[in-house]
Amino acid sequence: MSGRPAPPAVEVVEYTDPLCPWAWGSEPAFRALRAALAGRVRWRRVYAILFDHDDDPPPDPAAETAWYARYVAEVAAHTGAPHAVRLDRVAASSWPSSLVAKAAERQGADVAERALRRLRETVFVRGEPADTTALALAAVRGVPGLDLRRLAADAASADVLAQVTADRAEARRPVPEVLAVRDAPDGSPHPGGAKETAEGGRRYALPTLVFRAPAGYRAVPGLRPYDTYAAAVDGLCPGLLRAPAPADPTVALERYRSLTGPEVWLLTDGGRPPQDAVRVDTANGPLWLHPQEAAVHPATARTGPAGH
């Protein structure tokens, strides 16, 4: 025997996209769930590619942007997540941010978490989607522990392209349980039924979590509260979930580097803004940044060309 611990028998598959507003609004519940399952599951992200290369360009980009900005605001009204005061444009493609997010996984879980978070914040806080390679790399500059030159090389590699291509395909093979979803028992505005694709197939609605264990699997699509995810875990693997006590806001900010208002309420004790945090105002409440994060964050700092 090697003496190494056995890999977790439970896998959590998160179908997502860095530029999806529902996925952004689900971050508080997902952060709480990851903390409650830390070290006991394998958490794997699958990038579904919400904005694809072959999507037709809008005939009127300004009108399309105005419509999409209203849509994001409507989503944020349900989730409580921040959204940008002004959206620069509708994303041209999810591929650059997905490739960068996937490549960041090669530098460890903490780096990957923070890189993905930055990519989300670039569009939903700053209002500029990271839809080119240069913008995606600029978005993650300054993430602690991140080697930007290595990231750029990995994101451009054939291997990472193959991984994201496989992710896109996997997201278009949804489990049967999500095909017939029309309404959510909890009245969620985003029940999460599988979406039709341009190719005539179906893909997971974003976000969707699929919990897989030797005893079977559970799929939880759409926007759901933390308790719904916890119930799915308990139903599949009783006793696996170990919900941590809410953290002091300053401790939570040190860990996560950025917190939305809903995250302050869900993840910390008392729901107080962290001391010494830098407040970034949005059209739907503040984003709280660690001072070191604020110094390099796209929403607060001017950035130059990627890699410098």
d(CA 287, CA 166): 33
Predicted pLDDT of residue 3: 54
Can you give the pLDDT at residue 186?
Answer: 78
d(CA 49, CA 165): 9
**How confident is the model at residue 307, as a pLDDT?**
35
CB 136 within 8 A of CB 99: yes
pTM summary value: 0.93
Tens-of-pLDDT digits for all 308 residues of the chain? Answer: 445 555 578 999 999 999 999 999 999 999 999 999 999 999 999 999 999 977 677 789 999 999 999 999 999 999 999 999 999 999 999 999 999 999 999 999 999 999 999 999 999 999 999 999 999 999 999 999 999 999 999 999 999 999 999 999 999 999 999 998 877 777 899 999 999 998 899 999 999 999 999 989 999 999 999 999 999 999 999 999 998 888 999 999 999 999 999 999 999 997 788 889 999 999 999 999 999 999 999 998 643 333 33
d(CA 64, CA 233): 39
Please tell me the predicted confidence (pLDDT) of residue 303: 38
Three-class DSSP category at 279 = strand
